[in-house]
Structure 1
Amino acid sequence: MTKHRMKHSSTKVRRHHRGLWISLVVVVILLVVGLIGAGNYFFQVAEVRSHKAFIHNGALKRSDPLYEQDKWFKEQPKQTWRQTTPDHLKLVANYLPATKATNKTVVIAHGFGGDKEKMSAYGTMFHRMGYNVLIPDDRAAGQSQGKYIGYGWLDRKDYLRWLKMVVNKNGQNSQIVMFGVSMGGATTMMVSGEHDVPKQVKAYVEDCGYTTVEDEINYQAKAMYNLPSWPLVPVVSAISQLRAGYNYREASAVKAVAHNRRPIMFIHGSKDKFVPTKMVYTLYHAANEPKQLWVVKGAGHAASFSKNPHVYQVRITKFLDRYIK
């Protein structure tokens, strides 16, 4: 083969390799752009304040076991409490004093896509138990300001301020319980792990909260969209860090309950398909004593109360009566 032909052949090989590399780079760029685009879309679904089509937030039907409790609480004249967060958000809460003057107050945290109105039946339950009732709208919910849903992690600091407000308004001898359902359950647990919880907080009750935001988002990626968690969820988590100020791994209820030293009750439906029941066992084992676990047979997500309202109230009352006098 002549030198000319060899040189020509070598040039063709180099051009071929260069073309392959360019094609590979283009493919990688397209994949990255597509992944970022998908990440932004799912961040919008997961965290940006908007109507969530996959969350049922309609009014309760008359046939619902909680209809009367829900209706009663909504009809009561309530005080409006307010706070302004360090990041300048105005938050709003409803406060209903007990029928008989008391130092017992419950602070109730609502779930994902919900607001304080959705917790009315629980407010009635605690009011019947003799408690003052404070139900806030989380940031990015109801009447409160905010663009990004905090999944309990951003909200934990807001709830610390609500708890301290109860002490300031109702007195140093206050006895406070924090209670939450679903995301509100996770919020309750995340609050429990903070070092500056007021001493007046005597116990926590959480219903169907998740272990970590990362675990729940991973689960929902598969359950709702049949997508693998990697690499999408880490991308969405990174976007959350940049835009909302937190990532999914740090938002851990498991780590929080491991730091908690106050009584905590865990409730979960045995047929929960939204926050899988197995999560409550991880949380329970991570928690310190005193603690109690109640898995409600046959109950779906956030349905333990409606499964049997009387038993639900009795079980919570028996737990709290050990610590609230």
Structure 2
Amino acid sequence: MSPTLPGRRRILRRVLVLVLLAIFVLYLVLPAALGIFAVLPLREEVGAPPEGFREVTLTSDDGIVLEAWYAPPDNGAAIVLIHGAGASREAVRPYAAMLARHGYGVLALDLAGHGGSGGPTNRFGWGGTRDVGAAVEFLEAQEGVDAIGGMGLSLGGEVLLGAASEYPQVRAIVADGATQRSVEELHALESERPLYRSFTARVLYGVVQIASGTAPPEPLLDSMAAAESTGFLLIAGGNVPQEVAFNEVFTRTAGERAQLWVAPDAGHTGAFGRHPAGYEERVIAFFDTALLSGPGEEEATGTGSA
């Protein structure tokens, strides 16, 4: 026996309520919850320094004490090494070891609110430029450091790209898995500009701004364009189409100062694990050219993917 008309109406009303509830949760509750989570002070534990490294502390210009590992260079160049969102220098141990094997000094830094560092947590790194400034000030004071580079994973790469215009002392930056950290940066991709595509991001970043009391920093593309003396090696996981798209935009923005490697069959920040030899070769060759070449010896950087 088929439902009566009032019965069908009750069913339709229930379905409509469920649909509206699902929309409310997906487009408002979930992004708002993620925004709150982004500023919660959940910190990853940090173990003892790797062999050849020592514990150091830095102070940013807003008085926040930052924790780091430091190993001095053998070749005159030091790299600021920065982890991803919610992580710490513990996550970059293998990268630190790789750089140190080739004679580079390494300052593996915990961003503010991460690992052992003080200050408020922001998993989008909106205050990260200050942290880069503290790292640059520390390295400029170290004996044997004649050149500075930067290497960051995901959020760490975004922080370095965002600080490039303010700290040209960081002459070469490797950004592995960088994408975006604000609505304005999301709109670098034309596909993300319609409201139906960016609405949840607007809610997410709006909640982060309210909960943290801070505004999004200078957009990455503006910083990269203004950093006229900085070279970039951009690495994107080939299995993450949006990550590839962002890094293609970054490459076009920086022009001849940028190289792009789309790592085949790699996920987000998975290129090192998937292609360890090729990753090491590319990163070290980039830093060697940008930081160790004497006047007149620097090779022009070009764009491309493999």
Please give the range of the TM-score, normalised by the shorter of the 2 chains: 0.7 to 0.9
1:39 Cα deviation (Å)?
A: 6.2
1:122 matched to 2:90:
no
Q: Whose radius of gyration is greater, 1 or 2?
A: 1
1:272 Cα deviation (Å)?
A: 2.3
| Aligned counterpart for 1:268 among listed residues 233, 236, 242 | 236
1:47 aligned counterpart, secondary structure: coil
CA distance, structure 2, for counterparts of residue 300 and residue 39 of structure 1: 23
1:267 Cα deviation (Å)?
A: 0.9
CA distance, structure 2, for counterparts of residue 88 and residue 319 of structure 1: 34
Does the 8 Å CA contact 1:125/1:313 hold for their aligned counterparts?
yes
- Corresponding residue for 1:240? 208
| Aligned counterpart for 2:277 among listed residues 303, 310, 315 | 310
1:310 Cα deviation (Å)?
A: 1.2
- Corresponding residue for 1:45? 37
1:58 Cα deviation (Å)?
A: 11
CA distance, structure 2, for counterparts of residue 231 and residue 315 of structure 1: 38
Change (3 A) 1:107 1:266: same
Deviations 1:193-249 (A, max 9, x none): 22x433xx321111110144337889xxxxxxxx9666543344333333324344x
Does the 8 Å CA contact 1:213/1:251 hold for their aligned counterparts?
no
| Aligned counterpart for 1:202 among listed residues 150, 154, 171 | 171
| Aligned counterpart for 2:75 among listed residues 80, 83, 102 | 102
Change (3 A) 1:85 1:290: closer
Does the 8 Å CA contact 2:83/2:110 hold for their aligned counterparts?
yes
CA distance, structure 1, for counterparts of residue 62 and residue 227 of structure 2: 26
1:307 Cα deviation (Å)?
A: 1.0
Q: Which stretch of structure 1 is more off in the superposition, 147-156 or 231-240?
A: 231-240
1:316 Cα deviation (Å)?
A: 1.5
CA distance, structure 1, for counterparts of residue 184 and residue 39 of structure 2: 15
Among all aligned residue pairs of Structure 1 and Structure 2, give the percentage whose two residues are the same amino acid.
Answer: 23
CA distance, structure 1, for counterparts of residue 199 and residue 177 of structure 2: 27
1:233 aligned counterpart, secondary structure: helix
- Corresponding residue for 1:62? none
- Give 1:317's aligned amino acid: I
- Corresponding residue for 1:213? 182
Q: Which runs of 5+ in 1 are unaligned?
A: 1-31, 52-56, 60-70, 219-226
Does the 8 Å CA contact 1:103/1:170 hold for their aligned counterparts?
no
- Corresponding residue for 1:90? 65
TM-score, scaled to structure 2? 0.74
Does the 8 Å CA contact 2:88/2:110 hold for their aligned counterparts?
yes
- Corresponding residue for 2:291? 324
CA distance, structure 1, for counterparts of residue 290 and residue 80 of structure 2: 16
1:295 matched to 2:266:
no
- Corresponding residue for 1:148? 121
| Aligned counterpart for 2:111 among listed residues 108, 120, 138 | 138
TM-score, scaled to structure 1? 0.70
- Corresponding residue for 1:191? 163
Change (3 A) 1:168 1:284: same
Change (3 A) 1:260 1:217: closer
Work out the number of aligned pairs and report it.
261
- Give 1:269's aligned amino acid: G
Q: Which runs of 5+ in 2 are unaligned?
A: 1-23, 188-194, 293-306
Does the 8 Å CA contact 1:267/1:293 hold for their aligned counterparts?
yes
